[in-house]
A and B are shown apart, each in its own frame.
Chain A
Amino acid sequence: MTDTPTPALRVDPGGRIGVSMTVNGTAISTDVEVRRTLADVLRDDLDLTGTHVGCEHGVCGACTVAVDGQPVRACLLLAVQVDGTEITTIEGLANPDGSLGPLQQAFHDAHGFQCAFCAPGVLITTASLLETNPTPTRDEIKAELSGNLCRCTGYHSIIESVETAVRLTAAGAKSTDGGDEEASNA
């Protein structure tokens, strides 16, 4: 996990580069050391500690954030690689007043997590999934979440939470159409 200077790099790895990005809707410009990962910059420089680091080698998925809508592993990206992008983290899924956003509410309703260390990655992955596929099947949910390790739950409650979110979203859509909200409120 130690970074040793690589001659091929055109910049001094200890050197700094300016990076501009939009994080959870806020425009940010900052100078970062070239070798720093996006996860470390989010957590340490921007104090967005909701994104977690579980393995630092791209397997556990706890560090997943959305970069231009795509779930990516923030431990495998250097911060300098995300210049000019829009980033969403778990904090960005909450309501503006800090209360549970709709997806977080679904995970609350269905007892989704235990220690919740995996939560940032699971929530961001789920948000990205539901954006492209608002009504996934159980098997699709499992396949999509297979890149996010959770050691506590055995995944059952996580999958149920995603299904709850799907139902709530459908109910929400229906109610804006003038449908009956109660009926599908699981």
Chain B
Amino acid sequence: MRESLAGSFVGTSVKRVEDERLLTGAGSYIGDLKVEGMAHAAFLRSPYAHATIERINAAAAQRLPGVIDIITGEEMQAITNPFVPLGMIDGLYTPLFWPLAIDRVRMVGDPIAIVIAESRYIAEDAIQLIEVDYEPLPTVANMAEATRAGAEQIWPRADGNVMFRTEADYGDVDAVFASADRVISETFESHRHSNQPMETRGSLAEVTPDEVIFHSAAQNSHGLRWVLAMATSSEPVLDSVKELAGPGRDKLKAFGAGAKAFITERKDDLGDADNKGFIHQVRHDPTTLKHLGKVFMNVLAQDERRRPRVVADDIGGAFGVKGHPGREDAALLAAALKLNRSIKWIEDRNEHLTVGGMAREETLSVQVAVNDDGELLGLKVDMTMDQGAYPAVPFGAATFAGIMRVMMPGTYRFKAYSMKAAAIASNKAKYVAYRGPWANETWVRERMLDVVARELGLSPTELRLRNMYGVDELPTKMLTGPTLDVRMSAKATLEKAIEVAGIDDFRAAQAKARENGHLLGIGFSTYHEGAPGPPDYADAILPGSGAMMAEPLTTVLEADGTVSVITAQMPHGQSHETTLAQVAADQLGVAMDQVRVIFGDTAKTDFSLLGTGGSRGGPMGGGATLFAARGLRDRILDEAADMLEANRGDLEITDGAIHVAGVPSISKSFAEVAEVVRTRPGSTEPLTGSVEYDGGPGGWVQATHVAFVDIDIETGFVTIPRYVVVEDCGELINPAIVEGQVRGGVAQGVGAVFYEKSAYDDDANFQAGTFMDYLIPTAMEIPDIEIHHLETPSDIEANFRGVGEGGMIGSPAALTNAVEDALAHLGVRITEQHLPPTRILELAGVIAPA
């Protein structure tokens, strides 16, 4: 028996609600779907990194029995709009591009044609029959090439190949640097690698007489819906204007009222927003205005039946990549609308490796001003990002540069800081969000701190402890703006990590192992992450963006007495169906099986720009559930008070029975309350509780990682005998699920550092198109990961912080720091993030550098 608000589910490792279907093979992933009359699509893709398309001949392919249609670039251009830039940021130019390449390919894998056939096998046969004549162009394979004078320009309207530039100063940087005992500099390189969920991307455009349903493995169904609506509403704009001036007048009015309400509600938050990004964009490409105007008018005037309803169901992982609507998605929907037929496209692994999305290719030059006693004074960072050929939709590298700018100083007491960032275009695949897309702020800072410590003759932990904000200094503000509140416990995680690591014992073992040809190393890294961050966090990144961050959620008392939690979160492995149900069940005093979490369908869920991402599931999804469920509870109790003729304040809920405290024998069930509401004359609306949750006081999640490595100097192979994570994510909703998230993140960090690379050659030919080239770590490579939870006591309600990304934010720094520790006596300094065995051997001087 439980008390209604006893919190008996939250905090326990409740077993997953999802498992019953997922473990028996009854899940419903995108590849599993079949609808009446469904055709199949496959894409013809460029084998060249950069070339003009001289001629396409699809006649033979078109004649193949079973081929329904082949759409190439020019026709696609006529039936779609370019992806109009949505995330406009000062200093960013976003080129306009269409779902298919038109007269020029800009990367290996650039889609040139979509083939629609009765089966996937036939579609792929047809692709082999399409002839394309290319005229190769010089390629841009890397950052050095992109910025070389006379380099081939990938986008004619850009400044060379520079797509984005930004610069910010905090404090008196020159003065602080001038005052320091010394300035230590280093340049770090992080390699291109990628999310690679076990399920690739995929979508099914289902055309029915009443509506178009776009089923997709999408992290954000509402975002995808509007991007697709914009990309495929290509009617002549004059028709839309006529529609809006005449029969569709109400649509315009409704939109105007909605926009006004949105802006009025968020007036304070939006106040800081500026239009510099818009001006920058239009200066580079005035046609942006024309396309924006057309897209806007067409979407407004659009027949609802052609605006897709997006439905996402079970998803086989994503880690960020499925938050970006694909060009393939828009091509698929456009083809389905053209043919008035349902079409499915499932990406294959080679496509996903080649064009699905890649991340983190960045070079960062860092300067640290420091006193000889180890006092950190100033930080300067100059970063270049390689965003590939086509920018990710709806936002990409430039947005993440903003998060990096804010987070770079970490929780250290720097007095001044400056950051310059640029993003360049290359003939490679798009740069996407990957689990903690800003994670290189942690990697570079924590790597650099070890460099500084070594130069000063201090231990890495000593340097960190000396400069990190302690709890006695809180609350304070980061140099970059956001508040560090009293729950910011980064230093506590470091202290605890030092305690459990047993450094003295380790140093003894390290000395001994060297005698046997094994080099042991230990590495620390500490970070904090805005998941969700304090209320002033989002605006520090992009003024006005805080207004977009709210999480909508609705709880409903259904006719049968069960409760639906309708969320805009889009689970893809994080177990929201369990965790949100835990939170709601506790609020409502019901059993878990009386709560059902509904997600993914834009016809059912409230509009959110964000879906699942940014580790928002726990803090924003969990918080929104808590407050929405509480609102529903209030309404249920109001009704029950009438029914029981009791005082509202005397009521409580025990295991789904509503009764006067101490009198459990006379009670009403949720189903009885629902029945009264449903049959009440005049109103049949069910009871609901809804919120637009702003995150409340928010807060940071923080952790220290400690990696132990063992390097076999004969082979260069690195094993990880021990790995420790000490983290504070506030209150745990479900410890087993939290730990799964942490371990999964660390595993991806291990992959990134020792195995995975989205490699290109010097001509931008992709080199890692199979899982035999792109190595995902297996059960043999991932260590046991030891997790210690800390929690700073607080009476803040919904004190949940996100854990989805942290594992991957902390691990590359801890691992590379450990490798340097193992090799330091050989004079090695680690400045790159990718350390496969051959590189280890090169660094150790065992083999000559290639």
Q: Is the CB of A151 within 8 A of B25?
A: no
Identity of the chain B residue whose Cβ is nearest the Cβ of A51 in the assembled complex: B25
Return the contact of A115 from the options B317, B743, B784, B785 (Cβ within 8 A).
B317
Given A111-B15, A151-B776, A155-B782, check contact A116 B22 (CB 8 Å): yes
Note all chain B residues with C-beta closer than 8 A to A35: 121
Contact between A158 and B198 (Cβ–Cβ < 8 Å)?
A: no
The reply to whether A142 and B198 form a contact with Cβ atoms under 8 Å apart is no
What chain B residues lie within 8 Å of A55 (beta carbons)?
Answer: 349, 770-771
Q: Determine if A57 and B349 form an interchain contact, defined as CB atoms under 8 angstroms apart.
A: yes
**Chain A residues within an 8 Å CB radius of B737:** 111
> C-beta contact mask, B147-184 vs A, less than 8 Å → 1, else 0?
00000000000000000000000000000000000000
Q: Is the CB of B785 within 8 A of A156?
A: yes
Closest A residue to B572 by beta carbon equals A115
Q: Which of B124-132, B355-363, B681-689 contacts A (4 or more CB under 8 A)?
A: B124-132
Give which listed residue, A109, A117, A143, contacts B317 with CB less than 8 A: A117
Task: Name, among B23, B574, B771, the residue most crowded by chain A CB atoms within 10 Å (CB to CB).
Answer: B23
Given contacts A115-B572, A147-B778, A157-B740, contact A50 B19 (CB under 8 A): no
**Cβ 8 A contact of A62, one of B198, B574, B748, B780:** B198
What's the Cα separation between A91 and B22 when bound, in Å? Answer: 10
Q: Are A53 and B778 in contact (CB under 8 A)?
A: no
CA distance A149 to B777 in the complex (A): 7
* B188 partner residues in chain A, CB cutoff 8 A: none
**In the bound complex, how far is the Cα of B348 from the Cα of A55, in angstroms?**
7
Question: Are A145 and B779 closer than 8 Å at their CB atoms?
Answer: yes
Q: How many A-B residue pairs have CB under 8 A?
A: 194
Q: Mark B338-351, 1 if CB is under 8 A from A, else 0.
A: 00000000001110
Enumerate chain A residues within 8 angstroms of B772, measured Cβ to Cβ. Answer: 57, 59
Contact call B740/A119, Cβ cutoff below 8 A: no
Stretch at the interface among A93-101, A166-174, A175-183: A93-101
Q: How far is the CB of A16 from chain B (nearest CB, A)?
A: 13
- Given known A-B contacts A49-B31, A50-B27, A143 and B743 have beta carbons under 8 A apart: no
* B366 touches A (CB below 8 Å): no
Contact with B along A71-110 (1 / 0, CB 8 A): 0000000000000000001110110001111001001110
Which B167-219 residues sit within 8 Å CB-CB of chain A?
Answer: 196-200
- Is B11 at the interface (CB under 8 A from chain A)? no
Interface flag for A60 (CB, 8 Å): yes
- Output the nearest chain B residue to A122 by Cβ-Cβ distance: B779
A107 to B23, CA, bound (A): 8
| B29 near A117: Cβ-Cβ < 8 Å | yes
Across-interface contacts of B34 in A (CB, < 8 A): 44
Known: A114-B744, A157-B740. A94 touches B770 (CB 8 A): no
* Interchain CB contact under 8 A, A2 and B198: no
**Does A27 make an interface contact (CB < 8 A)?**
no
Chain B residues within an 8 Å CB radius of A116? 18-19, 22-23, 27, 314, 316, 573
Q: How far is the CA of A114 from the CA of B785 in the complex (A)?
A: 17
Choose among B124, B740, B807 the residue that contacts A114 (Cβ–Cβ < 8 A): B740
| Chain B, 733-788, CB within 8 A of any chain A CB | 736-737, 739-741, 743-748, 770-772, 776, 778-780, 782, 784-785
B6 CB within 8 Å of chain A = no
Residues of chain A in range 145-167 having any CB-CB distance to chain B below 8 Å: 145-159
Cβ contact within 8 Å between A142 and B780: yes
Known: A52-B199, A154-B746, A155-B779. A113 touches B771 (CB 8 A): no
Instruction: Check A36 against B26 for contact (C-beta < 8 Å).
Output: no
Measured between beta carbons, the chain A residues less than 8 angstroms from B782 are 154-156
- Kindly state the separation between the CA atoms of A44 and B197 in the bound complex, as whole angstroms: 22
Contact across chains for A111 and B16 when beta carbons are under 8 A apart:
yes
The docked-state distance in angstroms from the alpha carbon of A51 to that of B349 is 16
A129 sits at the interface (CB 8 A): no
Which chain A residue lies CB-closest to B578? Answer: A111
Closest to A5 in B: B125
Q: If A111-B16, A156-B743, A158-B779 touch, does A50 touch B196 (CB 8 Å cutoff)? A: no
Partner of B32, one of A33, A49, A56, A155: A49
Report the bound CA distance from A71 to B124 in whole Å.
29
Could you tell me the distance in whole angstroms from the C-beta of A76 to the nearest C-beta in chain B? 13
Nearest-neighbor residue (CB-CB) of A121 within chain B? B198
A141 to B784, CA, bound (A): 13
Indicate which residue in A2, A44, A111, A145 contacts B128 across the interface (CB closer than 8 Å).
Answer: A2
- Asked if residues A2 and B317 are in contact (CB atoms below 8 Å), the reply is no
CB distance from B118 to the nearest CB of A (A): 12
Roughly how many angstroms separate A143 CA and B779 CA in the complex, as a whole number?
Answer: 7
Least Cβ–Cβ distance between A19 and chain B, in angstroms: 17
For A139, the closest partner residue in chain B by CB is B780
> Are A56 and B778 in contact, with the CB atoms below 8 A?
no
* Chain B hits for A114, CB < 8 A: 317, 573-575, 740-741, 744
Residue from A117, A143, A153 with most neighbouring chain B CB atoms (10 Å): A117
Q: Is A118 close to B, CB under 8 A? A: yes
Q: Which of B27, B199, B574, B779 has the most CB of A within 10 A?
A: B779
Shortest C-beta distance, A146 to chain B (Å), equals 4
Are A1's CB and B124's CB within 8 A?
yes
Q: Please determine whether A153 and B771 come into contact, CB atoms closer than 8 angstroms.
A: no
Give me 22 A-to-B residue pairs in the complex whose CB atoms sit less than 8 angstroms apart, sorted by A's number.
A2-B125, A50-B25, A54-B316, A55-B349, A57-B349, A57-B772, A60-B771, A89-B25, A100-B20, A104-B23, A104-B24, A111-B737, A113-B19, A114-B317, A114-B573, A114-B575, A115-B199, A116-B23, A119-B23, A148-B779, A151-B197, A153-B747
Counting from the closest, the 5 A-B pairs by CB-CB distance are A50-B25, A117-B316, A115-B573, A154-B747, A114-B573
Beyond the given pairs A2-B128, A56-B348, A150-B198, 11 more chain A to chain B contacts, judged by CB atoms under 8 angstroms and listed by A's residue number, are: A54-B316, A57-B350, A59-B772, A60-B776, A111-B736, A114-B575, A117-B199, A153-B740, A153-B743, A154-B740, A156-B743
